[in-house]
Chains A and B, each alone.
Chain A
Amino acid sequence: MEALFDSALRLAAPLLLAALGELLVERAGVLNIGVEGMMLGGAFAAFVAAVATGSPAVGVVAGGAAACALGALFAYFAVVRRIDQIVVGTAINLLALGATGVGVRAIYPGGAPTAPTVGDLLLPGLARLPIFGRSLFAQTPFVYGGIFAAVAIALFLRGTRLGLRLRAAGESARAADAEGVDVMALRACAVLAGALMAGIAGANLSLAQSNSFTEGMTAGRGFIALAVVIFGGWRASGIALAAVFFGAASALQFRLQAGGVPIPYPVFLMFPYLITLAVLAFATRRTHGPEDLGRPYRREAA
């Protein structure tokens, strides 16, 4: 049971990080379906940098930076040029898939090596607590980072002026503009921040959850992060719970696969998506996200 919880958290971390990043982006009013590509790009860059320098920490930084580059591309086309966000996001995904696939074979013609991984961080004392001591307090730094980010982002959105301005840009860009908010700049920054977190989530994949890079290794996790944002009701607390839920479903699936239980594992993989669809269909509150989500803003004469 405790081992299950431990796995659930580990598997949830990349989802949590990417979803929190996407939360910032969507609360600002931008729908970025290119999270998948940004995560993948981050995973690849992190891997390459870690192998080259021998330092996983450098890898994480590189992962974040690479994803930011993709984020800048997205921000330019989707926010500044106001081109359809779905189209741009799709292009980013395709580019990342291709570039990383080519890259891994070009740089490691003999096959990808193993990377130095990010080890678990033990919180002394706490880790010895009974029941959940080890699973909560002897975790990857990404789990701690995710929890920290969730709290920080929640405080940011509720308790700072900038956070309020970001929410205003996403709920009513016209009102925000009339109040002096630079909607375009704010949205572009949100996209970059989201990309950074997606990149770190990618680093989590190639430097902690596994120790290598394989083509297309994100396997749809970026899209799952989108579902996590919705399922979490566009709130950091909800997202944290949703991410753990998805992580638990994943952990359960592995366990069942090993244990020969009669319930086929694809059911578990399907489950979170069906739940999200059900939430969307039947819940009345907060199923649409910020009002101006997905709408490029142009200041026009009213």
Chain B
Amino acid sequence: MTTRQAASAALWPVLSVVLALGMLALLLLLLGYAPLPALWALASGAFGSSAAWTATLLKASPLLFTGLAVALSFRCGVWNIGAEGQLYAGALAATAVATRLLPGAPAVVLTPLLSLAGAAGGALLAAIAGVLRAARGVSEVISTILLNFVAIQAVALAVHGPLQEASRAYPQSDALPAAALLPAFGRLHLGIAIAVALAFAVQLLIFRTALGFRMRAVGLSPVAARFAGISPERHALVSISIAGALAGLAGAFEVAGVTERLYEGLSPGYGYTAIAVALLARLNPLATLPAALFFGALEAGAGAMQRSAGVPSVVTQIVQGLVILVFVAIPFEARQAPLPGASIDGAA
């Protein structure tokens, strides 16, 4: 892509962000907060110090995994709203492996194993929705939302029961054994690097592999794909499973890299913010890097903004919503995000 093309491709997302922040400033003004100091606190809370950068990257990491998951599945014609549940499923699987199945194993075995478990957990949950769509034509919009709740409750079940910590006092799992914790540079855990690597890997998958080629074809035109010998049902299942695996990794790495144990409310809605991340990135895997960074910065900076300017940190949700609305208000050609067909029926 030429520099000029890259610049024009970035134009609309950047514009959306700027506009959304502008609206935020206006809103703050209306609510009686001083907008400029608040926005300054936001920015410095996200980028102003190494501690700020750390917070930003830690928040951006799960958003990157789940953003990739959503971008991948949307591009393949699958409305995967279940990244949140898939994250929980992955966290659950990883915790089970680390605290119950092989708590004594060395790090060199445990870390890859719990990552695998996380990916598998997310993939399996997603595959349920995929199979329901392929075999019974059940809309994945509804089934992934329902499965979100199932997964969240499954985690609740686990931390009140089989995975609960030894003293049985709190609804949380045991602390993960030291060998299970991800190697880290300060608080920056390995998961962040893996996320970045995966962004490149998913980009490669979608744009350079034959499988990704076929998945994109199915996403753009299931009819044409079928006539070309590509099964829309099968490829939808594959893409949602891969997406589930990515979201599951987000969960696994949150537990193994940040929280060090499993509990309810592990995710403050990463799976839903991921939709905003994916849209802003126009469903391009590499573009989810800056998009996830932006939303991660928003989350990290919001904390600082609350502390110093008194603006409630939940204001980030407003920005997320505004970014989406501003972005979709732009005419489709300019957006160039190939969203799944408006129909919620299963495969064409």
Binding site for B on A (CB under 8 A): 31, 33, 73, 77, 81-88, 90-99, 101-103, 105-106, 215, 220, 223-224, 226-227, 230, 264-267, 269-270, 273-274, 276-277, 280-282, 287-288, 293-296
18 A-B contacts (beta carbon < 8 Å): A82-B342, A86-B79, A87-B279, A90-B324, A94-B318, A95-B322, A98-B317, A98-B318, A215-B314, A220-B149, A267-B157, A269-B153, A270-B149, A273-B150, A280-B143, A281-B132, A287-B138, A294-B141
Which range holds the interface residue count of chain B? 35 or more
Q: Considering the chains assembled together, what is the distance between the CA atoms of A274 and B154 in angstroms?
A: 12
Interface of B is mostly: helix
Known contacts A94-B320, A266-B154; is-contact A102 B315 (Cβ 8 Å): yes
Known contacts A84-B328, A276-B146; is-contact A270 B157 (Cβ 8 Å): yes
Q: Which of B145, B156, B317 contacts A101 (CB 8 A)?
A: B317
- For B131, give the chain A residue with the smallest CB separation: A281
- Whether the Cβ atoms of A102 and B318 lie closer than 8 Å is yes
Give the tally of cross-chain contacts (CB within 8 A).
158
B343 proximity list for chain A (CB < 8 A): 294-295
Known contacts A85-B342, A264-B161; is-contact A94 B276 (Cβ 8 Å): yes
- Whether the Cβ atoms of A295 and B342 lie closer than 8 Å is yes
Write the nearest CB–CB distance from A43 to chain B, whole angstroms. 15
Q: 13 additional contacts, CB 8 Å, given A93-B272, A267-B157, A270-B153?
A: A33-B145, A87-B279, A88-B328, A90-B276, A93-B321, A94-B321, A98-B319, A101-B317, A105-B314, A269-B156, A270-B157, A277-B128, A287-B138
A94 proximity list for chain B (CB < 8 A): 272-273, 276, 317-318, 320-321, 324
Q: Considering the chains assembled together, what is the distance between the CA atoms of A125 and B268 in angstroms?
A: 49
B132 proximity list for chain A (CB < 8 A): 277, 280-281
Q: Which of B157, B273, B329 contacts A77 (CB 8 A)?
A: B329
- Whether the Cβ atoms of B275 and A95 lie closer than 8 Å is no
- Whether the Cβ atoms of B312 and A88 lie closer than 8 Å is no
Q: Which of A91, A97, A273, A276 contacts B314 (CB 8 A)?
A: A97
B322 proximity list for chain A (CB < 8 A): 91, 95
- For A224, give the chain B residue with the smallest CB separation: B149
Write the nearest CB–CB distance from A75 to chain B, whole angstroms. 13
A-B CB proximity, top 10 nearest: A98-B317, A101-B314, A95-B321, A98-B318, A94-B321, A294-B344, A91-B324, A266-B157, A266-B156, A270-B153
Check if B136 is an interface residue, CB within 8 A of chain A: yes
- Whether the Cβ atoms of B344 and A31 lie closer than 8 Å is yes
B148 proximity list for chain A (CB < 8 A): 223
- Whether the Cβ atoms of A87 and B328 lie closer than 8 Å is yes
A88 proximity list for chain B (CB < 8 A): 324-325, 328
Q: Which of A81, A84, A93, A280 contacts B142 (CB 8 A)?
A: A280
- Whether the Cβ atoms of A102 and B324 lie closer than 8 Å is no
Q: Which of A98, A224, A264, A269 contacts B320 (CB 8 A)?
A: A98
- Whether the Cβ atoms of A87 and B312 lie closer than 8 Å is no
Question: Which B124-154 residues have C-beta < 8 A from chain A?
Answer: 128, 132, 136-139, 141-143, 145-150, 153-154
Q: Which of A97, A230, A267 contacts B317 (CB 8 A)?
A: A97
Q: Which of B32, B273, B339 contacts A106 (CB 8 A)?
A: B32
B149 proximity list for chain A (CB < 8 A): 220, 223-224, 269-270, 273
- For A287, give the chain B residue with the smallest CB separation: B138
- Whether the Cβ atoms of A83 and B328 lie closer than 8 Å is yes
Q: Considering the chains assembled together, what is the distance between the CA atoms of A269 and B152 in angstroms?
A: 10
Q: Considering the chains assembled together, what is the distance between the CA atoms of A224 and B275 in angstroms?
A: 20
- Whether the Cβ atoms of B276 and A102 lie closer than 8 Å is no
Q: Considering the chains assembled together, what is the distance between the CA atoms of A239 and B180 in angstroms?
A: 47
- Whether the Cβ atoms of B279 and A266 lie closer than 8 Å is no
Write the nearest CB–CB distance from A169 to chain B, whole angstroms. 15
Check if B311 is an interface residue, CB within 8 A of chain A: yes
- Whether the Cβ atoms of A84 and B339 lie closer than 8 Å is yes
Check if B241 is an interface residue, CB within 8 A of chain A: no
Write the nearest CB–CB distance from B333 to chain A, whole angstroms. 14
Question: Which B313-348 residues have C-beta < 8 A from chain A?
Answer: 314-322, 324-325, 328-329, 339-340, 342-345
A264 proximity list for chain B (CB < 8 A): 157, 160-161
- Whether the Cβ atoms of A294 and B157 lie closer than 8 Å is no
Check if B228 is an interface residue, CB within 8 A of chain A: no
B138 proximity list for chain A (CB < 8 A): 280-281, 287
A81 proximity list for chain B (CB < 8 A): 329
- Whether the Cβ atoms of B142 and A98 lie closer than 8 Å is no
A288 proximity list for chain B (CB < 8 A): 137, 139, 345
Check if B195 is an interface residue, CB within 8 A of chain A: no
Check if B1 is an interface residue, CB within 8 A of chain A: no
B210 proximity list for chain A (CB < 8 A): none
Write the nearest CB–CB distance from B344 to chain A, whole angstroms. 4
- Whether the Cβ atoms of B81 and A86 lie closer than 8 Å is yes
Q: Considering the chains assembled together, what is the distance between the CA atoms of A33 and B148 in angstroms?
A: 14
Known contacts A86-B81, A273-B150; is-contact A98 B314 (Cβ 8 Å): yes
A99 proximity list for chain B (CB < 8 A): 317-318
- Whether the Cβ atoms of B325 and A77 lie closer than 8 Å is yes
Write the nearest CB–CB distance from B48 to chain A, whole angstroms. 22
Write the nearest CB–CB distance from B171 to chain A, whole angstroms. 10
- Whether the Cβ atoms of B318 and A95 lie closer than 8 Å is yes
- Whether the Cβ atoms of B146 and A273 lie closer than 8 Å is yes
